């Protein structure tokens, strides 16, 4: 069968997004993920903005309506009357005085990619002109303080020692749930009581090995219980939770997203806030660079409880390609990403980076974040590479990604050697980044 044309691919991607739209939020995937996830929503919004600026604005407004009074954006906003596990009855977010009263949410966060989405919406509105431009510009002005509060919460609460590195208290906060990055930390999580599992996810994948195990889920839910029992209090959680990791990839996103939010602040005449955000971005850029292994050239996570560095070769090691700050290191990482340990591995069906290096002993080609390729991460990489001027590699990953997506399955993730779509099909953020690639305009280059 001939590969679809770009226009046909875009039409199918748009069909997926519209099909997953409930009218108030766009579900990540209608059966497996029926709610709104925070960083999913950001990527989904980027795709929606190519179709309808008002719909894109509504998506982020729905997320912002669930913002906690502390500034935190929760990782899940639950749709009403929808069965899911672990749902609102597990999280009990209302035990916190800071949680919103009108909607149920989880009690943790996810990576702060939202400013990038806001900038994409603004660009889409300006391309469209007319009322779309007016609505996009009004949205940026109206919500800037909420995005600022989100960044300030992360800076204050998750980097209390001003190291330029964000601390997470659950692997779900990273967005890379069962990555081998977290294996050692999770091994030390010993639930004193088990939770009854009502897993719906296994009914929507063909192979249970693609998903985290029941034992892993018990650890995940034990951490939720620990946080819930102290009412998700920011200070007390650090004292009780059994999982405290520095997430270098999330820290790099914090750096680049703070730069983007500063650019939006400049447009609004918010010079003091823009300066503050640039200081934050610089600190996190330096924090990411401080984690780099001189031997491998990869950035590393840190176990706060043990002081141990995580040496596993995962896509998170390329955090400096997002945040920059050291030209020589970026060049070294570009060469490594193109090498046989990553995109140049001879057995890859498509030359895009797997979530774990195929040369690593931790590599599992069908297991969620332990090896499969994720289009959404590849979009983020190409966006960052273009921004830094590494356009050749960015265009290579873009082209290979679009070839991968020509199966029209819009899989959640892909088997690296066979190219098979895994996880849920018709995944909203996969469709969204497809539209993003197909509507790409060159990003403004910044100095590394």
Catalytic residue numbers?
177, 412
Residues facing residue 413 across a β-bridge: 422
Count of beta carbons in the 10 Å neighbourhood of residue 213? 12
CB contact at 8 A, 251 and 325: no
Closest residue by Cα to residue 372 from 392, 352, 391: 352
Count of beta carbons in the 10 Å neighbourhood of residue 346? 6
CA 86, 221, 252, 361 torsion-angle sign: negative
Q: How many helices (H) and strands (E) does the chain have?
A: 17, 7
Count of beta carbons in the 10 Å neighbourhood of residue 327? 11
Q: Is the bond leading into 86 cis (omega within 30 degrees of zero)?
A: yes
Give 361's contacts (C-beta < 8 A, 6+ positions apart).
Answer: none
User: How many whole angstroms separate alpha carbon 262 and alpha carbon 265?
Assistant: 5
Query: How much of the chain is helix, strand and coil, in % rounded to 5?
Result: 50, 5, 40
CB contact at 8 A, 361 and 324: no
Helix axes 130-157, 114-128, angle to 10 degrees: 170
CB contact at 8 A, 126 and 118: no
CB contact at 8 A, 251 and 164: yes
User: How many whole angstroms separate alpha carbon 333 and alpha carbon 339?
Assistant: 10
Give the tokens for residue 273: 């806030």
The full DSSP string for 201-240 is GGGGSS-GGGS--HHHHHHHHHHHHHHHHTTT-HHHHHHH
HEC letters along 82-100: CCCCCCHHHHCHHHCCCCC
- For 314, phi then psi, to 5°, come to -120, 170
| DSSP letter (8 states) at residue 177 | T
The torsion defined by the Cα of 153, 158, 162 and 165, in degrees rounded to 10, comes to -120
User: How many whole angstroms separate alpha carbon 250 and alpha carbon 328?
Assistant: 22
Place of tokens 């080609």: 365
């Amino acid at each position: 069968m001939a590969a679809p044309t770009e226009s046909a691919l875009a039409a199918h991607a748009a069909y997926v997004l519209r099909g997953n739209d409930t009218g108030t939020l766009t579900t990540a995937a209608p059966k497996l993920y029926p709610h709104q996830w925070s960083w999913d929503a950001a990527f989904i919004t980027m795709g929606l903005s190519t179709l309808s600026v008002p719909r894109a604005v509504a998506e982020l407004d729905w997320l912002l309506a669930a913002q906690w009074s502390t500034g935190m954006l929760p990782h899940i906003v639950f749709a009403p009357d929808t069965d899911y596990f672990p749902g609102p009855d597990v999280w009990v977010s209302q035990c916190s005085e800071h949680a919103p009263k009108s909607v149920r949410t989880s009690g943790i966060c996810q990576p702060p990619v939202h400013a990038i989405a806001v900038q994409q919406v603004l660009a889409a509105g300006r391309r469209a002109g007319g009322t779309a431009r007016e609505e996009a510009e009004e949205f940026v002005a109206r919500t800037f303080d909420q995005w600022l509060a989100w960044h300030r919460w992360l800076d204050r609460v998750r980097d209390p020692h001003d190291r330029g590195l964000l601390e997470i208290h659950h692997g779900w906060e990273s967005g890379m749930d069962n990555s081998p990055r977290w294996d050692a930390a999770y091994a030390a999580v010993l639930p004193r009581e088990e939770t009854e599992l009502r897993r719906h996810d296994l009914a929507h994948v063909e192979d249970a090995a693609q998903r985290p195990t029941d034992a892993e889920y018990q650890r995940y839910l034990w951490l939720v219980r620990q946080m819930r029992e102290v009412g998700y209090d920011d200070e007390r959680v650090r004292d009780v939770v059994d999982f405290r990791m520095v997430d270098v990839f999330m820290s790099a996103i914090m750096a680049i997203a703070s730069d983007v939010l500063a650019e939006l602040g400049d447009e609004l005449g918010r010079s003091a806030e823009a300066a503050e955000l640039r200081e934050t971005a610089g600190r996190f850029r330096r924090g990411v660079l401080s984690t780099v292994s001189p031997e491998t050239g990869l950035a590393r996570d840190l176990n706060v409880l043990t002081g141990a560095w995580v040496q596993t070769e995962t896509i998170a090691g390329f955090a400096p390609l997002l945040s920059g700050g050291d030209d020589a290191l970026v060049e070294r990482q570009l060469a490594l990403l193109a090498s046989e340990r990553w995109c140049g591995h001879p057995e890859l069906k498509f030359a895009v980076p797997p979530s774990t290096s195929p040369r690593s002993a931790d590599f599992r080609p069908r297991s969620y974040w332990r090896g499969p390729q994720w289009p959404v991460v590849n979009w983020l990489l190409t966006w960052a590479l273009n921004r830094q001027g590494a356009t050749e590699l960015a265009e290579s990953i873009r082209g290979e990604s679009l070839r991968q997506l020509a199966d029209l399955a819009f899989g959640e993730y892909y088997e690296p050697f066979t190219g098979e779509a895994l996880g849920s099909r018709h995944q909203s953020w996969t469709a969204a980044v497809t539209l993003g690639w197909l509507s790409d305009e060159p990003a403004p280059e910044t100095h590394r």
